[in-house]
Structure 1
């Protein structure tokens, strides 16, 4: 093993109760509506078995069909409405915490940086996806 990966943190506060935030973060029919960083991308496929030992996979693709990739991994620790930890296929780890603030929920993701792209670029990409998630949940309040 080389040096320990740099940890990057992204965070957002969603104006919705924790049960709704948890559900829309994890339900495949919601993941396909928010799990991309910009409007010229989409997530045509998602599967998610959100439990310790469960697996997940989301396909992220450019809408013009020029590029797509699968983002997936295995959950090492899941505490409903509280914590998700998982390992990605490249060995990096991610920790997602959900903080119940009553009528809002703070979602914090801490992930290992990869070596290919600058940390700032990775942070802004993950933050964009998290911001998209916030927008999605807040637009789906009445459901």
Structure 2
């Protein structure tokens, strides 16, 4: 099953794109109530790797996330694969800003609604981060 989250960000596409991909920015927005990204590396090219260290805010335990880029259209599309799971992020510039659509394969657990909420929270964190850069 595919899940989609979306955010409208009042910022120029070049700032949105850079903030989504720059490791220093990823550390600031890729965060939730329970975990945070503590280290990031991003080789943004087809076949390149996105590497993240994700750690619990409560006890510091964590894991390494590694995904391989499968499609990149600068300022428009990023797609990566982690195992059998595919994530596609589309950036569409319009009069009101940039719409970011993120579509991903659901995990078997937790529930689809929980996954949608968590991914939306992170995307909302990204939108707040970009807005803070611009304003």
RMSD: 1.4
- Retained in 2: the 8 A contact 1:37–1:126? no
Paired residue total: 135
Candidates 96, 108, 117, aligned match of 2:101: 108
* CA distance in 2 between partners of 1:109 and 1:43 (Å): 19
Q: Which runs of 5+ in 2 are unaligned?
A: none
- TM normalised by structure 1 equals 0.88
1:51 to partner: Cα distance:
1.2
Counterpart secondary structure, 1:140? helix
- TM normalised by structure 2 equals 0.93
Equivalence for 1:138:
131
Map of 1:54-133 to 2, 5 A cutoff? 54-88=48-82, 90-102=83-95, 104-133=97-126
Counterpart secondary structure, 2:134? coil
Q: Which runs of 5+ in 1 are unaligned?
A: 1-5
After TM superposition, what 4+ stretches of structure 1 lie above 4 angstroms from structure 2?
A: none
